[in-house]
Amino acid sequence: MTREERQLREAIIAKCRWMNASGLNQGTSGNISARYKDRMLITPSATPYDAMKPEMIASMPLEGEHGSWEGPLQPSTEWRFHLDIMRGRPDVGGVVHTHSTYATVLAIARKPIPACHYMMAAFGGNDIRCAGYARYGTAELSELALQALEGRNGCLLANHGMIAVGANLDKAMWLAVELETIARQYYLSLALGAPHILSEAEIAETAKGFSTYGLQTPKPKPESKAKSGPKPAKARAAKAAARQRVEKKHSGKR
């Protein structure tokens, strides 16, 4: 195991522990995967995160025998949609699946999330779709999830939970947090009545703004100082006068 791979395995475990500590997930119901070269690293099945060690993370080939794996423990029972997402989406480097409360509540009600907040633009469209129901770990669930994720970075799974995907592990976890946040906001807005939904044009405008968000405008370069040369007479006179005042002050203290 290379140092780089070990660090990625440790990052997966740290993310698992964080999402439980933050309330984004409960127990071992969630699972996380990350792309590493031509393989996928994924959390093992039914293993408490606090007891997880880097060597326990399962490794699966992105090409070749579908479902084969290496490691001391079996991969998560949800390995199918993790693997199929990474096979079908070269842009995805990390996948986070959780049973977060508000996203799961909406998934139970089978309610997709419309553009109730401008952060919907981070998911690649005007809504978060809700995939149809299929038993966990099945090929059918994987197919439904892939359909719901078409052109999107997140989706709900009917009567189950949610999936967030990103270019890397950090981005995937950030989007998982954003998805749960939007789900909570949408749920609470429904309690007030009919929430106002943003238009396609408004979401497109936000998406355009995201393309430059965080990019700092470079500071103008300071003007180069003139090469040292004879100082102006006025500057020399001022400096000499200042020196005389200092000398006079010190001479008076003797």
Question: Rounded CA gap, 85 and 47, in Å?
Answer: 23
Contact 118, 186 (CB under 8 A): no
**153: helix, strand or coil:** coil
- Comparing C-alpha atoms, which of 161, 222, 181, 168 is closest to residue 35? 168
- Comparing C-alpha atoms, which of 192, 176, 168 is closest to residue 103? 176
Using alpha carbons only, how large is the chain's radius of gyration in Å? 28
Q: Which of 55, 65, 70, 78 is catalytic?
A: 78
Burial 131-147 (b: 16+ CB within 10 A, else e): bbebeeeeeebbbbbbe
- HSE, CB side, 13 Å, CA atoms: give it for residue 155: 23
For residue 99, give Cα distances in angstroms to 40, 142, 173, 222.
22, 16, 13, 53
**161: helix, strand or coil:** strand
Question: Rounded CA gap, 205 and 199, in Å?
Answer: 10
Is residue 70 annotated as part of the catalytic site, yes or no?
A: no
Question: Rounded CA gap, 151 and 141, in Å?
Answer: 18
Q: Where are the beta strands (DSSP E) in the chain?
A: 31-36, 39-42, 58-61, 94-98, 113-114, 127-128, 130-131, 154-157, 161-166
Contact 8, 36 (CB under 8 A): yes
Residues labelled catalytic: 78
